[in-house]
Amino acid sequence: MPRWTLSTPVTRPTVPVASTPTNALPENPPTAEITYKGYRIEPESYRVNSTTWSPRVVVSLRTDEGAWQRTPLYSTNTAKFPTRDEADRCALDVAKAWIDAASGRPRLAGPEPV
């Protein structure tokens, strides 16, 4: 079996936690959580760089024990957005499609969707 090597090393920039680049635009607070068919949706799009945002959302369902089972979802398309609002709208569409698909299959635990 051949071994693959990179001709140039791959490195990632090291940024201390909780530091913000001085030229970065301030981040808006995330959109409030939304409820859809009994699921809780929390848009959590993230900044890719100083000009683009990537869609991300966390979908949660309350279990029979009362805890929230959280599932993070990312958009499968590679589109990036200039604002968090636009990325969150895409993430919301991804979450609703995932919930609609999940509503059609049996679940192991949790209340029935409304």
Reported confidence tier of residue 31, pLDDT bands at 50, 70, 90: low
* Tally of CA atoms within 13 A in the half-sphere of 55 that contains its CB: 21
Reported confidence tier of residue 70, pLDDT bands at 50, 70, 90: very high
Residue with tokens 């398309």: 77
Q: For residue range 32-69, what is the model confidence (pLDDT) as tens digits?
A: 668 999 999 999 999 999 999 999 999 999 888 888 89
- Its pTM stands at 0.61
Q: For the chain, which residues make up each domain, given as ranges? A: 34-103
- Which residues, 6+ apart, have CB-to-CB distance to 80 below 8 Å? 48, 52, 53, 54, 87
